[in-house]
Structure 1
Amino acid sequence: MYQFISKANLPTAHGNFVIHAFENEHGQEHILLSHGLPCDDSNVIPLIRIHSECLTGDAFGSLKCDCGPQLNSAMKQIIAHGCGAILYLRQEGRGIGLVNKIRAYALQDEGCDTLEANLKLGLPADARTYEMCEVMLQSVGIKKAKLLTNNPNKVSGLQELGIDIVERVPLIVGVNPHNSEYLEVKGEKMGHFIAMSSDKV
């Protein structure tokens, strides 16, 4: 059971957001950043991003992934759009946790790709779930949205919760020589839309 705890204003380098805190019965915390909600124009559909926590990318600027650039780009795009939200889910390393992610990094240093490393550790390729998004989106009145993502599982995950995703908006940023293979694995082995334009869904 996820519940709303508190909210506060959060000025950022990209613009002003409201930060909302949520918690489940086990004390696990998730964050929603909102801007301009509810939308001033009822014809404007909110732009949202589900972003899984990535300490190495979001905070330390790791070039092994595209997470930090994706988060910053999503914040900028939501400010420019005028209304929307980022659901910052505490699911480090696609849900395997920070320490296991570092163990997977070590195997990648030895030649494994990101998927092979997880499987070699006996971990799932992607352990993330999205049920907490329902309560988070309900709290800010979002029933219909455009979703910033390259991951089809996020689209279907929200649709299964009854959220009307009218458009998938691609988020191809932060590509560099250190993560090109990582992005190829996302596209070829995990079904992400890495080189496609936005789709109506």
Structure 2
Amino acid sequence: MIDTDGTPHGITRPSGVEHVVNVQLSTDHGDFLAVGYLDLDRGDEQIALVHGDIEADDVLTRVHSECLTGDAFGSRHCECGEQLSAALRAIAREGRGVLVYLQGHEGRGIGLLAKLRAMRLQADGLDTVEANLALGLPDDARDYRVAAEMLHDLGVRSVRLLSNNPRKSEALRRHGIRISEQVPLLIPPREENLSYLRTKRERLGHHLPHLDLDLAAEPS
């Protein structure tokens, strides 16, 4: 007999993460339990922020890729920092949920320095996909194995995934995460990131219907 994640029934799923520490964390968005993990395959240190009882079905979940420029410095080139804050607020309002913050995902997995080089190419006229490819890098190099293993360890049975990215949903499903719903996480665009968001929609398949309002407002 096979379980829903593909593991033979009665056999424990091997894990590539070590659950290292739990500590309470008070934030501007609410109180969370910070759960620290070590990725045994890559050596990366990872964290999940847990609010309420998540050993259940249909847990509101955000799997957030590290973005130093957006998350820490408030860059307007992307919407990452605003998505991070919005996700934490939504989880706190819900009364339960989890945010998995993934290190090693900077620049859709190409690293900080390569991301800055790609941003320079975008300033010269390339879009975000063209810039990565011009550097000889994939348009998206992220892997979600560790996120799935953290969610399994936390006892999450199925998630309502806060994401606009269908690739993320597909990747998590491949690693055994049941997704009952994909919940949009739409941030009003800025002049500085509208072109970037359009590229994410048109070339990477992100579900960003709110951009239609901006497109409709433009003269033909």
TM-score normalized by the length of structure 1: 0.92
Residue in structure 1 matched with residue 11 of structure 2 by the alignment = none
* Residue of 47, 60, 64 corresponding to 2:60: 47
Q: How does 1:77-156 map to 2 (within 5 A)?
A: 77-90=90-103, 91-156=105-170
Residue in structure 2 matched with residue 8 of structure 1 by the alignment = 23
SS at match of 1:195: coil
SS at match of 2:113: helix
* Residue of 25, 46, 56 corresponding to 2:69: 56
SS at match of 1:132: helix
Letter in 1 for 2:43: G
Cα distance in 1 for residues equivalent to 2:84 and 2:143: 19
SS at match of 2:172: helix
Deviation at 1:109, TM superposition (A): 1.1
Q: 1:147 to 1:163 in 2, by over 3 A?
A: same
How many residues are matched? 193
Deviation at 1:174, TM superposition (A): 4.5
2:59 and 2:98 in contact (8 A); partners too: yes
Residue in structure 1 matched with residue 213 of structure 2 by the alignment = none
Residue in structure 2 matched with residue 74 of structure 1 by the alignment = 87
Q: 1:174 to 1:93 in 2, by over 3 A?
A: farther
Cα distance in 1 for residues equivalent to 2:69 and 2:156: 30
Unaligned runs of 5+ in 2: 1-15, 211-220
Residue in structure 2 matched with residue 65 of structure 1 by the alignment = 78
1:69 and 1:174 in contact (8 A); partners too: no
SS at match of 1:4: strand
SS at match of 1:133: helix
Letter in 1 for 2:141: A
Cα distance in 2 for residues equivalent to 1:174 and 1:4: 36
Deviation at 1:73, TM superposition (A): 0.1
* Residue of 27, 52, 55 corresponding to 1:36: 52
Q: How does 1:162-177 map to 2 (within 5 A)?
A: 162-177=176-191
SS at match of 2:87: helix
Residue in structure 2 matched with residue 21 of structure 1 by the alignment = 36
* Residue of 195, 198, 201 corresponding to 1:187: 201
Cα distance in 2 for residues equivalent to 1:101 and 1:162: 30
SS at match of 1:187: helix
Q: Cα RMSD (Å) of the superposition? A: 1.4
Q: Taking every aligned residue pair, what percent have the same amino acid on both sides?
A: 45
SS at match of 1:57: helix
TM-score normalized by the length of structure 2: 0.84
SS at match of 1:51: strand
Structure 1 runs, 4 residues or longer, greater than 3 Å off = none
Residue in structure 1 matched with residue 13 of structure 2 by the alignment = none
Cα distance in 2 for residues equivalent to 1:45 and 1:192: 22
2:110 and 2:141 in contact (8 A); partners too: yes
SS at match of 1:124: coil
